[in-house]
Structure 1
Amino acid sequence: MSRVALVLRHADEIHLGNLEQVLIEHGYAVRYVDTLSADGVQGIDPAAADLFVVLGGEMGVYQADEFPVLAEEVQLLADRLAARRPVFGVCLGAQLMASALGSSVYRGPSNEIGYRLVEPTEAGQDSPLRHVNGIPMMQWHSDTFDLPAGTTRLAGSTAYGNEAFAIEDWALAVQFHPELTAEMHEQWLASSEAEVRAEGLNPDELRRERTEHSEAMQQASRALFSEWLSGLPGGAADPRRTP
């Protein structure tokens, strides 16, 4: 029987990208939950799925008055993490995990958009985060968080000290976007051109960065995620290659 990966999605264009195939290769059936739908995350058993994947979004954790589902997600993740059940969070997902663990989430010093180096800590070099060392990873965020108590900081960057944290080998949060494919990047640029230009950035320059870095980033991302899945407690199946 397939494992189930429950994927909390906050926008259609912010999906699993290149990580979906990795889940399939590791024997997971992928089930998306669109959190901004009428049902939101109501009725989800926090301990039921084999894995939660919490994706990014354009809102901030502190905007629960405008997006009430965010408070519900924080509680869902708090219950999930308290049960020590596997969770992988990306960008907003990482921030929601931090909030669920009792840390503050707030606006950061800059709106970071583009391929940027992420530097693994000593602990990160001994974890799946080592795969991103020296590889510019896609950043698209302006929020950050305090490192939650009981977690291990795995990476930082020049602009943001907290880029990744973990709880043992069953919970992992990353601030950057390991899932991003070239096609997704183009979608994001097209839908957010005003934001990009407001930051003084040139969309064509960001496309040039993509041409230079995207393939290496995706390879590093797949290696990171595959190794983490293989190390989950309970013994993940060996990855199954598909044609």
Structure 2
Amino acid sequence: MRKKRALIIRHVPHEGIAGYRTPIEAAGYHVDRIDVEDPAFRSIDLTEPDLLIMMGGPMGVYEQDRYPWIACQLRRLSRRLEADRPTLGVCFGAQMIAHALGAKVYAGPRKEVGFHTVTVHHDVPDNPLRFIDGQPILHWHGDTFTLPGNVELLASSHVY
């Protein structure tokens, strides 16, 4: 039997996969990670992994002129979303999903920096983030987005 594969995309070198590895492996996945600056990233078919997780970064999805890889990733992400493949976005990764689905991404009311609790939305059946409910998580963001149609909000903070 083939082991399911999870691919984690890292947008900046200091953005680790933190506490994601253990629960993902416990769910039966083999976890791979790739950085967007890795030359191999350009040729990866993002529809292939059984689970795709896109991490955060200081950039905004609207900064495609400064980060040329954003447009390339958005095109491939759109194909994955059209194929209805399981995809999770964390911070900037969530912006990418929202933008690919036609949502507006914009500067939020204020920056949120530091360790703050996260509220997991339990109205989502089998919410994959249920293990972080009420846990202090590092926040370092200032952008937000409208929620695209047919997308479930899994968790939020007191600001976002």
1:68 partner letter: P
Q: Is the 8 A contact 2:120 2:134 kept in 1?
A: no
- TM-score, normalization by structure 2: 0.85
Name the counterpart of 1:7: 8
Cα 1:29–1:119 shift into 2, 3 Å: closer
**Rounded Cα–Cα distance in structure 2 between residues aligned with 1:139 and 1:15:** 14
**Superposition deviation, residue 125 in structure 1:** 8.2
Name the counterpart of 1:75: 75
**Superposition deviation, residue 100 in structure 1:** 1.0
Name the counterpart of 1:17: 18
1:142 alignment partner, SS class: strand
2:46 partner letter: P
Instruction: Report the more deviating stretch, 135-144 or 72-81.
Output: 135-144
Name the counterpart of 1:201: none
Is 1:119 aligned to residue 144 of structure 2?
A: no
Is 1:42 aligned to residue 39 of structure 2?
A: no
CA deviations 1:114-164 (Å, max 9, x no partner) are: 12233345625873455444433321111111111111234443322xxxx
Unmatched tracts of structure 1, length 5 or more: 161-243
Name the counterpart of 1:102: 102
Q: Is the 8 A contact 2:107 2:143 kept in 1?
A: yes
CA deviations 1:50-80 (Å, max 9, x no partner) are: 1111111121111100101111111211110
Cα 1:132–1:46 shift into 2, 3 Å: closer
**Rounded Cα–Cα distance in structure 1 between residues aligned with 2:133 and 2:4:** 30
1:56 partner letter: G
Q: Is the 8 A contact 1:54 1:89 kept in 2?
A: yes
1:141 alignment partner, SS class: strand
Name the counterpart of 1:171: none
CA deviations 1:180-228 (Å, max 9, x no partner) are: xxxxxxxxxxxxxxxxxxxxxxxxxxxxxxxxxxxxxxxxxxxxxxxxx
**Superposition deviation, residue 3 in structure 1:** 1.7
**Rounded Cα–Cα distance in structure 2 between residues aligned with 1:72 and 1:4:** 22
**Rounded Cα–Cα distance in structure 1 between residues aligned with 2:25 and 2:131:** 20
Name the counterpart of 1:93: 93
1:52 alignment partner, SS class: strand
Q: Is the 8 A contact 2:121 2:127 kept in 1?
A: no
Structure holding more strand per residue:
2
| Corresponding residue pairs, total | 159
Cα 1:144–1:15 shift into 2, 3 Å: same
Q: Is the 8 A contact 1:123 1:152 kept in 2?
A: no
**Rounded Cα–Cα distance in structure 2 between residues aligned with 1:159 and 1:136:** 14
2:18 partner letter: G
Question: Which of the pair has more CA radius of gyration?
Answer: 1
- Identical residues among aligned pairs (%): 38
Cα 1:126–1:145 shift into 2, 3 Å: same
Cα 1:140–1:80 shift into 2, 3 Å: same
Q: Is the 8 A contact 2:57 2:92 kept in 1?
A: yes
1:113 alignment partner, SS class: strand
2:150 partner letter: G
1:34 partner letter: D
- TM-score, normalization by structure 1: 0.58
